[in-house]
Structure formats: C-alpha cells, structure tokens
Structure 1
Amino acid sequence: MSETGFAPFRITVCGIDELPGHCDVGVSHVLSILDPGLPPPPAFGSFGEHVRLDLRFDDIIDPIPGKTLPEPQHVDAVLAFGQELLAESPGAHLLVHCHMGVSRSTASMALILAQSRPDRDPAEALAEVVRIRPQTWPNLRILEIGDQKLGLDGKMVAAARDHYARAAKAEPQKARFFREVGRGREVEHLDLP
C-alpha cells in the first residue's frame, strides 16, 4: 500500500495470493483483472464494503489462438473506473490486482494514475507504480491502448520501454521469459542474449 503524493487516493497493487493481507486496510475500490473464466477470489468476502470492477482477459500483447486479448473496451472500463474513483477520492483506497501483480495490474494502475494527473508526465505515473511494486513489468498492449485514449502522444509507451530496459538489465532472465511467452514486442529494442 502506498500513501502517494501523486494521486489523491491511496494505492495498492498485488497478486491473488497477497489479497488476504489487504482485507483490513480500508480498501474502498478494487480493480480485479484475471484470466477469463476465473471466479472472484474468495478473499473479497473479507474486504468489507467496496466498489469492484471485474475484468477478464489474458496477459498477452498480441493475438494468440484460444486467448482473450486486452481490448479497447477493457481499457475504457479501467479508465471509467478511475474517473469514478476520482469523483469519490477523499479517503479512497484503490487496490488493483491480477494473477501475480506484475503486468495487467501495473499497466492499469499506471493509466489510472496518469489519468488522475494530466498535469504530470506519464513517465511519473509509471515510476510511482514501480516505486510501490518494484517487480512491475506492465502489459504493453494495455499501455498502448491507454496512451492513445488519454492522448499521451506515446509518452506512456516510451516510459514503459525505458522501464523494460532497466528491468532487463537488473533481471535479464525476466526479459527472456517475456520474450519466450510471446511478448517479444516489449523487449525487441533490447540487446538480449
């Protein structure tokens, strides 16, 4: 969880296994992003009253047969949820989660933060997510769609590419993993072995 000077609400990013640890911290809004067909995690029954948006799509960036690609309507839903949160922001606490709290959730949180602060560089929004969730590897397709919808002129995508380069330098195996699972566009600009 982070008290952030960046947004007018508290933020948390996590994976499914971490959800039980956030039941008693006053989460008011939850963005739950999981693979299609998965039910809401049982931990939500212990969260108390909260507003929740459930989205179901796979953690991919290009079409793969049998998988559900993040689509513009998913990003529209994320941004609309962020707007609703801003309208209620005094005292709000947003938790965004996906399976591991690394890719879909971090991309979505970065877009919500960028939307909440149009006066700031989108790279700062992504940096805030990385600050609270160092293992961040945001889903490029979500960021590409959101960058266009928010009129960021490619700044969020450029920030993501810079982040991938830093993350790959620190953990080359992570970059190789994403290349091997079909997310090569995220690392194509990097010199990987």
Structure 2
Amino acid sequence: MPSLLPFPLTICGVDELPDHAGRGVSHVLTILDPGTPDPEHFGEFGPHKRTRWDFHDIVNTQDGQQHPTEHNVRAILDYGTALQDEPVNHLLIHCFMGISRSTATAVILMAQANPGREAEAFEHLRDIRPYSWPNSRMIAMADSLLDRKGALVAAMKDHHKTMARLRPDMMPYLRTSERAAEVPEEE
C-alpha cells in the first residue's frame, strides 16, 4: 500500500530505537510517561528535529496519571500542519512499546492528511506496525477535531477486530486492563 504521508514513517518502542539510527530519520516524535528520562539512543542518530510529549497511555481518568487530552491531540494536528512546510526525509514516532500512543499519533497524522481515507490509515498502520492497538481516547478526540463524524472511530474499531483475529494471544491481557472496553466481543 502506498504511504499516506509524503515521507517514510516508522513506529517503534524505546528498545527498538537503535535499529533506526542509520535510517536517515530527520524528525522524531517521542511520547513517554511524565517523568521518564529521555532515551539515550538519540546520540547514535544523525541530525534530526525532535519533539517530546509526556502523557500516560490510558483512556480513562486515573489518580496520579495524566491521560491524553484534547490539548495533546491538537498538538499532534499542529505538528502535522507544520510538517507540510518542512523538508521531512523520514519521520520516526515512538512511545514506550510502539503499540498505542505512537500508533494513534501516526493514524491521526495520516487521517489529517487524507480526509475520507480513515480505513486506509489503519490499513497502512498494519503494514508498517503489524501489531498495534492505538489509544482510543486519542483517536476519538481526533475524530471530533477533524470533524470525521465517527469515521475515524469506526475505522479504529474495525482495526481492533482485525488485531483480535491476528493476535488472539494479546486479548486476555487487554481484557484485564483498563483498555478492556476496546476489545471486541469474541465471535
């Protein structure tokens, strides 16, 4: 599937960062829990522009944790707008594991640049990150801010069904987590 962005996109977790040091990454988005030290791996990368956001990977309010907010999603959309005016050779988005916050951010950027192609954004996500479980709170806020009238959320739910079929081994874990409401019913 052709890219939905005009530059290569990579998604990974912190432990995978060294694998991407020599790939010509020009822009990095880091999304980690508040208070988490910066990964040391970026010293191995060539010159790049790096942006960091701090919030927890949760979808419900929890004491002592900072969930993603509309402000965070607006920052993602502003970032996507700013990238249109910059030369981008390769964008790398990472969170701790490369499964939820980073994949939600990638989908939001792809959907922003491709109105009406929400389902394709998730298809492309599966091509570049075979196991992903985008943060539903972030996707719902982006759906609203982009005025997609539920199309982005519907595409995410279809993605979750696909992931449940492809990775049934992960569903017991998700069903016992605070993300249980995102797990589709077993068919």
Q: TM-score, normalised by structure 2?
A: 0.93
Is it true that 1:102 corresponds to 2:102 in the alignment?
A: no
* CA–CA distance in structure 2, aligned partners of residues 147 and 63 of structure 1: 20
In the alignment, which residue of structure 2 is the partner of 1:154?
150
Report the secondary structure of 2:84's partner residue. Answer: helix
Q: Over aligned residues, Cα RMSD in angstroms?
A: 1.6
Q: Superposition pairs for residues 14-33 of structure 1, below 5 Å?
A: 14-33=12-31
- Count of residue pairs brought into register by the alignment: 187
Of 118, 127, 130, 1:131 maps to 127
Q: Where does the alignment leave 5 or more consecutive residues of structure 1 unmatched? A: none
Q: Residue 175 of structure 1: CA displacement?
A: 2.2
Q: Residue 181 of structure 1: CA displacement?
A: 1.4
Is this contact kept in 2: 1:107–1:142, CA < 8 A? yes
* CA–CA distance in structure 2, aligned partners of residues 4 and 49 of structure 1: 27
Q: Residue 4 of structure 1: CA displacement?
A: 4.3
* CA–CA distance in structure 2, aligned partners of residues 116 and 88 of structure 1: 15
* CA–CA distance in structure 1, aligned partners of residues 170 and 103 of structure 2: 16
Q: Where does the alignment leave 5 or more consecutive residues of structure 2 unmatched? A: none
Q: TM-score, normalised by structure 1?
A: 0.91
Percent identity over the alignment?
A: 42
Of 155, 180, 184, 1:184 maps to 180
Report the secondary structure of 2:51's partner residue. Answer: strand
* CA–CA distance in structure 1, aligned partners of residues 150 and 89 of structure 2: 29
